[in-house]
Homo-oligomer: A and B are copies of this chain.
């Protein structure tokens, strides 16, 4: 019987999952080594046996989220724009599932094997469609960049009050802006429309560049 085990039975994996859960629940700014420790029933310094420092912990969060991205390799019949769309959609849903992690994904270079595998798979589909390897990866980069930028904006405006200082401005000075907000710009449904508009435009534009 081990009702009060002296060893907590931790793992890098468990630590990362707990950190992700804590981030999802309380936000990234509340993620501290001490807090994560108490969450796991352990002192803060204990965590340093599973992670060299906090930066590595954050890298682990990125790894966790990005690894969940599906690139649609199975549906190999999809054309290259379909593959890019799959990548974009999957990346977006994973990011929005963990809003606190988005700034980390945007900031930290992705060197993990899982992420590179996704890039490689999509890039290979583009090469098969006739693109140069260099151009193929530039295209994948462009799509990922667009998704990350969009999700940043989408998640940044979600928390409490959207933008109270904007209300203090004289809307009469900005006719186009005023007309658009009156027509529903900024509503939650609008985020989907913004994303679709941008992605569709990018993909049709890319299609015209195919050799």
Give me the interface of A with B, judged by CB distance under 8 Å: 103, 106-109, 111-113, 116-117, 119-120, 123-124, 127, 132-139, 141-142, 145-150, 152-153, 156-157, 162-166, 169, 173-177, 179-180, 183-185, 190, 193-194, 197-198, 200-206, 208-209
Residues of B within 8 A of A184 (CB): 134
Q: Compute how far the CA of A193 lies from the CA of B103 in the bound complex, rounded to whole angstroms.
A: 25
Q: Which of B113, B127, B157, B208 contacts A109 (CB 8 A)?
A: B157
CB A81 to nearest CB in B, in angstroms, measures 11
CB A106 to nearest CB in B, in angstroms, measures 5
Tell whether A176 pairs with B133 under 8 Å between CB atoms, given A149-B145, A205-B203.
Answer: yes
In the complex the two chains form, is A139's CB within 8 Å of B197's CB? Answer: yes
In the complex the two chains form, is B137's CB within 8 Å of A176's CB? Answer: yes
Residues of B within 8 A of A137 (CB): 176-177, 180, 185
Q: Which of B112, B123, B145, B180 contacts A153 (CB 8 A)?
A: B145
Q: Compute how far the CA of A176 lies from the CA of B119 in the bound complex, rounded to whole angstroms.
A: 9
